[in-house]
A and B are shown apart, each in its own frame.
Chain A
Amino acid sequence: MDRNSNVYTFLFAIIMIIIVASGLAFTATTLKPLQAENVRKEKMQNILSTIGVDVSRDEASQLFGDYIKQELALFPDGTVNDKVDAFKLDLSKEVKKDHDKQNYPVYQAEKDGKTYYVIPLYGAGLWDALWGYIALDSDKNTIVGASFDHKSETPGLGAEINQSWFEDQYIGKKIFDKSNEFVSVKAVKGGAKADDMHGVDAISGGTITSDGVSMMVEERLKNYVPYLKNN
C-alpha cells in the first residue's frame, strides 16, 4: 500500500491509537489498586505525623487504628453526621460545595492518655493544590503539629512548606486569641515576631505559597469553630 495515501495514513493512525489506548488503559487499571493503597497509607502517615508519631508508610497503616479513636464527619454547625465515612471524604471535592452542604472531617486521636484533634486542610498555592493536617491539643486551641504538602509548588521556594523547618513553626501556636475569638495562624512575610502566638515566618521567595497556606489554615479551621467551642 502506498505509504503516502490518505487511506494508509488514517488506517495507521487508527490502529496505532487503538493499540496505545488499550495498552495504557491496561497499565492504569492494573496499577490502580497499588496506587490507591499508597495514597491511603500516606494519608494515615500524614495524620499520625501531626500528633508526633513518625512512622514509615507501611507501619502507619498498622498503627493508625491504635492512635486514631474516632473519625468524624461534621455538619457545619459542629454536630456529627454519622452517615458519612470521614476517612473516605475527598476534601478536594468537599471544598467546592456550599459551606452548609459540606462535610467537615476531623480525627480524634489518643496518645499517652491525651486527646488530640486532627483537622485536614485543603487549599490553593501558586501553581496548584495545597493540603495538609493540623493537630490541636486537648484544649482545642494549641497546635501540636502540622503537616503540609503540595502538588507542584516551586522547588526550593514554595515547595519548602512540606519541610519540617516550616511545619514545626506551627507547634505551640494558638488559633484562638485571649478573648476566645478565632484568629488562625498566619505565615508572616518578613518574619513573625518571637512572641506572636498567631504567626509564623513565611518563606522568602515563596510569598504566594505562604499566603496560600495562611488562607487554607484560616478558611478550613474557621469551619470547625462551632465544633471546637461546643465539645
Chain B
Amino acid sequence: MAEENGGLFSKQNRALLIDPLDDNNPITVQVLGICSALAITVQLKPAIVMALAVLFVLVFSNVIVSLLRNLIPNRIRIIVQLLIVASLVIIVDQVLKAYAYDVSKELSVFVGLIITNCIIMGRLEAFAMANGPWKAFLDGVGNAAGYGFILIVVAFFRELLGSGKLMGYEVLGHKAKTVAESTGLYHYGYENNGFMLLSPMALITVGIIIWLQRSKNRKLIEN
C-alpha cells in the first residue's frame, strides 16, 4: 500500500513509473514482447493504437490481479491471470469495433495478440501478484509506456524508410512512375527500402536501439 512507503509518489513509486522507460525497459532490456514489436511496427498508426491498447490492458489487469492477489488460488493463478487479460482484450476489441471502427480494422489481428504479449503476463506474475493496487497501477503505466515508446520509435523508422510515409502521409515527397514526375526526395532518385517492411528489419532496428541505449547507459552492460 502507498502509505507504507510514505506518499503516493514516493521515490520508490516514481521508480516504478520511470524505470521501465530506460533502465528496465521491457523490450530493450528484458527483451519481452518482441513478437508484437516485429508484427505491428510496419506503420506508425497501428503501433500507436497498439501501444494505447496495451496500456489499457496492462494497467487494468495489473490493478485487478493486484486487488485479487490474496484471493487467487496459487495452483490456478496463471489461468486466472490469462482469463482477466483475455476478457480485457475482448472488451477493447468490442469497444473499438463499435466506436472506432476504422482503428479496429487497422488492428484487427493484432488486438488478439495482446493476450499473448509476454510483458503483460510477466508483470502480472512478477509484480501484481505481490504488490498493492496503486503500485501495480504505476508499474502498469510505466511498463506499457516503455513498451509503447520502443514500438513507436521502431514504427517511425520502418514506415519512414520503408514506405516514405508517416501516419500515412507522404513526407518524403510523392513517388510517381518516373523519376522526373516524382516530387521531393524521389525526384533525386531516392528509393524506398522495401526491406524495412519485413520483420527482420524490426529485429535489427530493435537491436540498434539496444546498442544505442547500452552505449549511453553503461550499467546495463553485462560482463
On A, residues with C-beta under 8 Å from B are 3-4, 8-9, 12-13, 16-17, 20, 23-24, 27-28, 31, 34-35, 38, 42, 57, 151-152, 155-157
Contact = CB atoms under 8 A, between A and B. Distances in A.
Contacts of B78: none
Nearest to A31: B98
A151 B73 contact: no
B202 to A, nearest CB: 11
A9 B101 CA distance: 39
Q: Is the interface of B mostly helix, strand, loop or mixed?
A: helix
A27 B91 contact: yes
Given A28-B94, A31-B94, A156-B162, A12 B73 contact: yes
- Residue of A8, A9, A35 with highest tally of chain B CB at under 10 A: A35
A16 B83 contact: yes
A206 to B, nearest CB: 11
B73 A8 contact: yes
B64 to A, nearest CB: 11
Contacts of A27: 90-91, 94-95
Contacts of A35: 94, 97-98, 101
B73 A4 contact: yes
Interface string B33-52: 00000001011001000000
A35 B75 CA distance: 38
Interface in B73-104: 73-76, 79-80, 83-84, 87, 90-91, 94-95, 97-99, 101
Given A24-B87, A57-B101, A155-B43, A9 B73 contact: yes
B75 A12 contact: no
A24 B90 contact: yes
Interface of B: 40, 42-43, 46, 71-76, 79-80, 83-84, 87, 90-91, 94-95, 97-99, 101, 108-109, 162-163, 197-198
Nearest to A41: B101
A31 B46 CA distance: 23
Contact of B74 (A4, A23, A157): A4
Contacts of B42: 155-156
B160 to A, nearest CB: 14
Given A27-B94, A155-B42, A38 B87 contact: no
Contacts, number: 62
- Most B-side CB within 10 Å, residue of A9, A28, A156: A156
State the main secondary structure of chain A at its contact with B: helix
Nearest to B73: A9
The residue among A16, A17, A23, A34 with the most chain B CB atoms within 10 A of its own CB is A16
B108 A151 contact: yes
A95 B136 CA distance: 50
A24 B30 CA distance: 33
Contacts of B71: 3, 12
Contacts of A20: 83-84, 87
Given A24-B90, A155-B42, A38 B98 contact: yes
A142 B42 CA distance: 36
A98 B46 CA distance: 39
A26 to B, nearest CB: 10
Contact of B95 (A4, A16, A31, A151): A31
B99 A34 contact: yes
A191 to B, nearest CB: 13
Nearest to A34: B98
A157 B83 CA distance: 34
Contacts of B91: 24, 27
Nearest to B41: A155
Given A24-B90, A24-B91, A151-B108, A42 B101 contact: yes
Contact of B75 (A9, A17, A28): A9
Contacts of B198: 156
A16 B80 contact: yes
Question: Which has the most chain A C-beta neighbours within 10 Å: B84, B108, B162?
Answer: B108
Nearest to A57: B101
